[in-house]
């Protein structure tokens, strides 16, 4: 499944390491993951630890379980035997999918070592690694489906690792997602524009909106805010208004797009 991120030769996995024929070797961390990020490949190290921690605490309360269940329904129609969760963070959704599809071989990667360490510790049945989305450590045409939930997409790399007719499920925030939270944090709310993938290697098979309401108390309100990009783009006053909110009903709204690989 894995290929060497330096020379692209297949990697042979052993208990404590993975090696290729050229002698490149990668140690397995105690928690079970591999770090395939090559030195100087990128200075970007993924989400900030505060964001990772807020997301882990919020998701652990299963507030977004309806989304995980909907994702499971969608991927089930593709009958996958190998799934890769791209930019999987701390692996909340990867774990939820593995629980529902134990026979499916699951892989997850993220550029954040902190997030992958947490993911690997929480589910030993998933193959986790640290990697950038732009240089995947997987062999050509090895996966039936790639899920990308609120994470960057590299269409060329995804097309390379997907099997013929493989599918890509992209989940992103709807422009109205958490609008109530934004109205508290900002004087003026600007909505982002949703953009589908512009790709000549994938075609859009299905697009749906999925939403539900959540009634939250503290500290979940603050964790939810801090796990979004707004957590780092808000004034001190805006953050204080969020932190002092005792109860809040918010609309979680998502766009789920299923793409099929051409050829
Ligand atoms: C909003 S989080 C979503 C995490 C997870 N999919 C979830 O929904 O819980 C986006 C994730 O993408 C990761 N990420 C950002 N840039 C990346 C890149 N170039 N390669 C791989 N992962 C990346 C971040 O570290 C972060 O964990």
Asked if residue 214 belongs to a domain, the reply is yes
Asked if residue 1 belongs to a domain, the reply is no
Asked if residue 246 belongs to a domain, the reply is yes
Task: Tell me what the pLDDT averaged over the chain comes to.
Answer: 94
pLDDT tens-digit readout, 101-149: 999 999 999 999 999 999 999 999 999 999 999 999 999 999 999 999 9
Asked if residue 4 belongs to a domain, the reply is no
Decide if pLDDT at 230 tops 70.
yes
For ligand 1, residues with CB inside 6 Å are 46-47, 55, 87-89, 92-93, 110-112, 115, 132-133, 149-152
pLDDT of residue 47: 81
Contact between residue 119 and residue 52 where contact means Cβ atoms under 8 Å apart = no
Kindly give the distance from the C-alpha atom of residue 157 to the centroid of ligand 1, in angstroms, as a whole number: 16
pLDDT of residue 49: 87
Number of structural domains the chain divides into: 1
Decide if pLDDT at 259 tops 90.
yes
pLDDT band at 243; cut points 50, 70, 90:
very high
Which numbered atom of ligand 1 lies nearest the CA of 110?
22
pLDDT of residue 263: 66
Contact between residue 5 and residue 38 where contact means Cβ atoms under 8 Å apart = yes
Q: How far is it, in rounded angstroms, from Cα 2 to Cα 182?
A: 41
| For the chain, percent of residues with pLDDT exceeding 90 | 86
Asked if residue 88 belongs to a domain, the reply is yes
Can you give the C-alpha Rg of the chain in angstroms? 19
Ligand 1 pocket, mutate which of 37, 38, 47 (most atoms under 8 A from CB): 47
Kindly give the distance from the C-alpha atom of residue 105 to the centroid of ligand 1, in angstroms, as a whole number: 21
**Domain region containing 208:** 12-261
pLDDT band at 234; cut points 50, 70, 90:
confident
Asked if residue 112 belongs to a domain, the reply is yes
pLDDT tens-digit readout, 13-70: 999 999 999 999 999 999 999 999 987 777 777 788 888 899 999 999 999 999 999 9
Asked if residue 3 belongs to a domain, the reply is no
Kindly give the distance from the C-alpha atom of residue 148 to the centroid of ligand 1, in angstroms, as a whole number: 9
Q: How far is it, in rounded angstroms, from Cα 212 to Cα 200?
A: 33
Query: Taking the alpha carbons of 248, 238, 114, 132 in that order, is the dihedral positive or negative?
Result: positive
The stretch 217-232 carries a mean pLDDT of: 93
Strand duo 143-149 + 127-130: pairing: unpaired
pLDDT of residue 87: 97
Asked if residue 122 belongs to a domain, the reply is yes
State which H helix or E strand residue 92 sits in: helix 92-100
Contact between residue 88 and residue 33 where contact means Cβ atoms under 8 Å apart = no
Question: Which residue lies with its CA nearest to atom 3 of ligand 1?
Answer: 150
CATH at residue 118: 3.40.50.150
């Amino acid at each position: 499944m894995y290929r060497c991120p330096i020379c692209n030769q297949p990697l042979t996995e052993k208990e404590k390491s993975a090696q290729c024929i050229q002698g490149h070797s990668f140690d397995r961390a105690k928690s079970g993951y591999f770090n395939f990020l090559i030195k100087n490949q990128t200075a970007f190290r993924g989400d900030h630890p505060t964001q990772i921690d807020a997301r882990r605490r919020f998701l652990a309360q299963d507030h977004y379980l309806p989304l995980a269940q909907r994702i499971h329904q969608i991927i089930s129609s593709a009958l996958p035997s190998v799934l890769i969760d791209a930019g999987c963070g701390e692996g909340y959704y990867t774990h939820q999918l593995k629980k529902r599809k134990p026979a499916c071989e699951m892989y997850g990667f993220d550029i954040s070592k902190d997030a992958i360490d947490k993911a690997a510790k929480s589910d030993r049945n998933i193959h986790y690694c640290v990697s950038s989305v732009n240089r995947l450590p997987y062999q050509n045409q090895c996966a039936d489906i790639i899920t990308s939930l609120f994470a960057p997409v590299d269409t060329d790399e995804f097309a390379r690792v997907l099997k013929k007719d493989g599918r890509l499920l992209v989940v992103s925030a709807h422009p109205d997602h958490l609008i109530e939270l934004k109205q508290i944090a900002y004087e003026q709310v600007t909505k982002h524009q949703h953009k589908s993938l512009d790709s000549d290697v994938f075609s859009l098979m299905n697009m749906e909106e999925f939403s539900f309401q959540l009634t939250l108390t503290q500290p979940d309100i603050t964790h939810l805010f801090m796990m979004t990009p707004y957590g780092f783009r808000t004034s001190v006053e805006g953050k204080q208004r969020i932190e002092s909110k005792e109860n809040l009903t918010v609309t979680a709204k998502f766009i789920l797009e299923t793409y099929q690989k051409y050829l």
